[in-house]
Amino acid sequence: MSDSPTITEAAKRRTMTLNMGPQHPSTHGVLRVLLELDGETIVKASPDIGFLHTGIEKECEVKTWQQVVPLTDRVDYLANLSNNLCYCLAVEKLLGLEIPPRAQWMRVMLTELTRINSHLVWLGTHAIDIGAMSVMLYCFRDREEVLKIFEAFSGQRMMTSYFRVGGLALDAPRGWQKMITDFLGSFPSKIDEYENLLTNNPIWLQRTKGVGHMALDDLLDVGATGPLIRAAGLAWDIRKSEPYSGYEQFQFEVPTRTESDVFARYSVRVAELRESVKIIRQAFDGMPGGAFQADAPGVVLPEREKMKTQMESLIYHFKIVTEGFGVPAGEVYQTIEAPRGELGYYVVSDGTSKPYRVHMRTPSFGNLMTMPSMLEGRLLADSIASLGSMDFVLGDVDR
Amino acid sequence: MEEESTGLVSDCKQMISEEVKAMRVVQAVEACEGALLDGSIARGELVLEIASGLIVAVARLLRADSFVRLSAVTCVDLYPMEPRFEVVYQLHSLERNERVRLKCKLSGTDPAIDSVMGVWRSANWYEREVFDMFGVVFRGHPDLKRILMPEDWTGHPLRKDYPIHGHKYSYQNE
């Protein structure tokens, strides 16, 4: 690290260099932070990322359009369906596909479940970082219910790949209504349980109130998005400002706080859990019937039965499976509100059956850039609370 | 088919349409003479091509014109075409709920462009990533070094002439 202070420099300044990570339980993945300390105060914090770099963007360029979907799961492995959705929306925009209402509402319902899943993992691990061990057990207990729903829908608990270009991979499984109603019936009281454990807990308040403060302008300037921005007082949510997948038909609030500290970020995310429940309930109550895939024979695989009995369908099936489908030349930047903030897919097509370039503007990458400003000049003991409040996933940072 | 054959870059210099010219963003950019090379709206997204030498001046104008967010910086490699690299800036105005994409074309030999870090601090890691993955140098960036690949790595993986499988054993010094 060329920017890390050498021992002699540090000695002159009477500071100590502390290496946090790459494997540290509180860094939520493989993140290395070089901390230069003056006593208990952090003088300089230099994040070192790239340990989870897997070259997904390069890999996308040799897969067909549909084959990229499973790769997007692996970008942010706690918000896999959000990534599926953003990519599919981008490609559908290039193709000019119209997605039937049932698929759109299913997508909304499942991405909100993803938000709950992601926030629960965040809350559990964040609380454990700060020392509240039991919250993690509650969060992971309830997250399991969400994962069971994902498993019923897609066959996978985490790497779902359930959304496809043109709609969904399959229609909703038998008995999905019961799973969702059970979840909607029990989950709101579980949120109360977490709040009982934390919101008025004096230790929690002492560790989080006034910690990791950053001004809104600073946050916007260094590229933060999502709950970090909302905890600083700006009600900016892409679901409201640039609605996609039918979000304009749902009623929900955008929770904001003004303190912009670790506690404000916590309470924004907990409020978002409740809003997500509201959205899921609306999507469930009003779930339209009909097709779950677009009427686009050249893009969407034909039904199995038709493929076996009709020549046309067989030809389409063969073409899609062997060479994929072409996407008109052009480019699109599609953004959605992922659990962590603005997720953007910049997709460039040259007209062939493979993407020419896929760039993922991931929320964690932007949020992690706030680290030096959030840690420097503050106490080492607060760094863990501040780091946790950024809510980054290292797979999402490194891609 | 005519349109398809042009593929990624428009071969002929197009006239900027009146619709594009009427936009407030475009008028803001035109305050910097010679900066706007091309502009178009495709699929509802505004794309402006900017002369690469004037990117910082344009960035300052747009930042003053309410584009406080630099959402991302990335690059597209058009190998073997020349100019080879297209540096792409995704800007976002919260106030007007508007997005615009700036593009700067760079040559394949020693691609370099001025850093916009003085305008938006969020350019920091994005520019480092483009440098790491494409080898585009950002002049004036205070800390331009690899960000995702190991520091001793050779080559720039997202270039089109970089193979998808490793072409040589990379841990030479072990």
Nearest of A340, A366, A359, A345 to residue A49 by alpha carbon: A366
Residue B20: pLDDT band (50, 70, 90) is: confident
B115: phi then psi, degrees, rounded to nearest 5: -75, 145
Neighbours of A181 (CB within 10 A): 12
Q: What is the largest CA-CA distance in chain A?
A: 81
pTM, two decimals, is 0.89
Assess whether pLDDT exceeds 50 at residue A117: yes
Out of B45, B68, B74, the one facing A332 most closely (by C-beta) is B45
Supply the pLDDT for residue A112: 93
- From residue B122, give the alpha-carbon distance in Å to each of A245, A324, A365: 29, 37, 10
A17 DSSP β-pair partners: A36
Contact A357 B72 (CB under 8 A): no
* pLDDT tens digit sequence for A68-87: 999 998 888 888 899 999 99
Q: How is chain A split into domains, by residue range? A: 7-48, 56-398
Interface of A with B (CB under 8 A): 2-3, 49-50, 53, 55, 57-59, 61-62, 93-94, 217, 220-223, 234, 236, 241-242, 328-333, 335, 342, 344, 346, 348, 350-351, 356-357, 359, 361, 365-366, 369, 398-399
User: Does residue B120 belong to the interface with chain A, where contact is any CB pair within 8 Å?
Assistant: yes
Q: Is A151 or A2 the better-scoring residue by pLDDT?
A: A151
Mean pLDDT value across chain A: 88
> Band of the pLDDT at A270, cuts 50, 70, 90?
very high
Percentage with pLDDT > 70 across chain A? 95
Q: Is the pLDDT of residue B3 over 50?
A: no
pLDDT category at A307 given cuts 50, 70, 90 is confident
Distance of alpha carbon B164 from alpha carbon A2, whole angstroms: 29
Q: What pLDDT band is residue A187 in, cutting at 50, 70 and 90? A: very high
B89 touches chain A (CB under 8 A): no
User: What would you measure as the largest C-alpha separation in chain B, in angstroms?
Assistant: 61
Chain B residues near residue A49 by CB distance under 8 angstroms:
147-148
Nearest to B120 among A59, A221, A346 (CB): A221
Q: Which of A216, A220, A236, A376 to mutate to test the interface with B (most CBs of B within 10 A)?
A: A220
**Which of B8, B68, B147 shows the shortest C-beta gap to A220?**
B68
Which distant-in-sequence residues (6+ apart) come within 8 Å of B8 by Cβ? A329, A348, A350, A356, B76, B78, B81
CB-based contact, B164 to chain A, within 8 Å:
yes
Alpha-carbon distance of A284 to A246, in angstroms, equals 14
Q: Is A321 exposed, middle or buried (0-12, 13-18, 19+ CB in 10 A)?
A: exposed
Nearest to A346 among B3, B90, B122 (CB): B90
Please give the helix or strand (H or E) that residue A114 lies within, else none: helix A101-130
Q: Count chain A–chain B contacts defined by CB atoms under 8 A.
A: 98
Q: CB of A223 within 8 A of CB of A368?
A: no
Between chains, do B4 and A351 touch, taking CB under 8 Å as contact?
A: yes
The whole-number pLDDT of residue B173 equals 59
Q: A52 is written with which tokens?
A: 């989870």
Q: Tell me whether residues A344 and B72 touch, CB distance under 8 A.
A: yes
A155-159: Cβ within 8 A, 24+ apart: A158/A73, A158/A77, A158/A80, A159/A70, A159/A73, A159/A74, A159/A77, A159/A80
Asked whether the beta carbons of residue B94 and residue A365 sit closer than 8 angstroms, the reply is no
Residue B5: pLDDT band with limits 50, 70, 90:
very low
Q: Please answer yes or no on whether A361 and B71 come within 8 Å at the CB atom.
A: yes
Angstrom distances, CA of residue B76 to CA of A262, A347, A398, B83:
38, 10, 19, 11
pLDDT of A5 > 60? The answer is no
Q: Which of B4, B60, B95, B147 to mutate to test the interface with A (most CBs of A within 10 A)?
A: B147
**Chain A residues inside the 8 Å CB shell of B43:** 93-94, 330, 332
Does the structure show a pLDDT above 70 at B32? yes
Residues of A in contact with B71 (CB under 8 A): 223, 335, 342, 344, 361
pLDDT for residue A2: 47
User: Which residue does chain A place closest to B122, by CA atoms?
Assistant: A222
Write the pLDDT tens digit of every residue in A93-113.
Answer: 999 888 999 999 999 999 999
Q: Return the residue in A52, A331, A335 with the most chain B beta carbons within 10 A, the one to mutate for interface testing.
A: A331
Structural domains present in chain B: 14-115 (3.30.460.80)
Categorize the per-residue pLDDT at A184 as very low, low, confident or very high, splitting at 50, 70 and 90. very high
pLDDT value at residue A163? 92
Q: What is the pLDDT of residue B101?
A: 92
Of the candidate CATH numbers 3.40.50.720, 3.40.50.970, 1.10.645.10, 1.10.3720.10, the domain formed by A56-398 belongs to: 1.10.645.10
**Segment A249-263 mean pLDDT:** 91
Pairing state of beta strands A357-361 and A341-349? antiparallel
pLDDT more than 90, % of chain A: 42
Q: Is the pLDDT of residue A253 over 50?
A: yes
pLDDT, average across residues A259-288: 92
A346: pLDDT strictly greater than 70: yes
What is the 3-state composition of chain A as percent helix, strand, coil, each rounded to the nearest 5?
A: 50, 15, 35
A289-305 pLDDT, tens digit each = 888 888 888 888 888 88
**Other C-beta atoms within 10 Å of B84: how many?**
21
**How many angstroms away from the CA of A49 is the closest CA of chain B?**
6
> CB distance A369–B70 less than 8 Å?
no
Report residue A347's pLDDT band, with 50, 70 and 90 as the boundaries: very high
Smallest Cβ–Cβ distance between A369 and the set B7, B124, B150 belongs to B124
Binary contact (A223, B122; C-beta < 8 A): yes
- Mean pLDDT, residues A269-295 taken together: 91
B40 touches chain A (CB under 8 A): no
Instruction: Tell me: pLDDT of B2 over 50.
Output: no
Q: Is B90 on the interface with A (CB under 8 A)?
A: yes
Rounded to a whole number of angstroms, the distance from the CA of B3 to the nearest CA of chain A is 9
CA angle B88, A365, A368 (to 5 degrees): 135
Strand ranges (E), A310-370: 330-338, 341-349, 357-361
Say whether residue B144 is in contact with chain A using an 8 A CB cutoff: no
Mean pLDDT of chain B: 83
The tens digit of pLDDT for each residue in B151-169 reads 888 888 898 888 887 655 5
Q: Is the Cβ pair A333, B101 closer than 8 Å?
A: yes
Contacts of B41 in chain A (CB under 8 A): none
pLDDT higher than threshold 70 for residue A6: no
CA distance A332 to chain B (A): 8
Judged by a CB distance cut-off of 8 A, whether residue B74 touches chain A is yes
Whether B126 has a pLDDT exceeding 80, the answer reads yes
Task: Check whether B8 has a pLDDT greater than 90.
Answer: no
CB-count burial class (<10 Å; 0-12, 13-18, 19+) for A352:
middle
**Nearest CA-CA distance, residue B95 and chain A, Å:** 10
Out of B94, B125, B147, the one facing A236 most closely (by C-beta) is B94
What pLDDT, on the 0 to 100 scale, is given for residue B1? Answer: 38
- Describe the crossing of helices A80-95 and A101-130 by its angle, rounded to 10 degrees: 150
- Give the mean model confidence (pLDDT) for residues B119-129: 91
